[in-house]
Amino acid sequence: MEIRTTKSFDRDWRTLPPGVKRRARKKFDLLLKDPRHPSLGLKKMKGYQEIWEGRITRDYRFTFQITGQGYLLRRIGSHDILRKP
């Protein structure tokens, strides 16, 4: 399994605080090792058939799709990103 990113994700990533980036890297490692781990808080997004949501911190989320090769990270940021995953 591998992790790939979209241009939207890369743009979001550049604006994140360093502490959030550190925690996000740990969560992405965990996603690869154990996607069912409770701290990820993964769930399918309502209204979007193939898009999932995961938790970085209480205030930060990421969205992704599951592909044949692994995970495609779509967005990362505050809850506002969930409006346009």
**Amino acid identity, residue 82?**
L
Supply 17's token pair: 């605080």
pLDDT of residue 39: 95
pLDDT of residue 81: 80
The reply to whether the predicted model has a pTM over 0.95 is no
pLDDT digits (tens, 9 = 90+) for 55-69: 999 999 999 999 998
C-alpha span between 25 and 27 (Å, rounded): 5
Q: Count Cβ atoms within 10 A of the Cβ of residue 53 and give its class: 0-12 exposed, 13-18 middle, 19 or more buried.
A: buried
Q: Read off the pLDDT band of 77 (50, 70, 90).
A: very high
Give the position of tokens 């193939």.
50
CATH 3.30.2310.20 fits 2-83, yes or no: yes
pLDDT digits (tens, 9 = 90+) for 27-44: 999 999 999 999 999 999
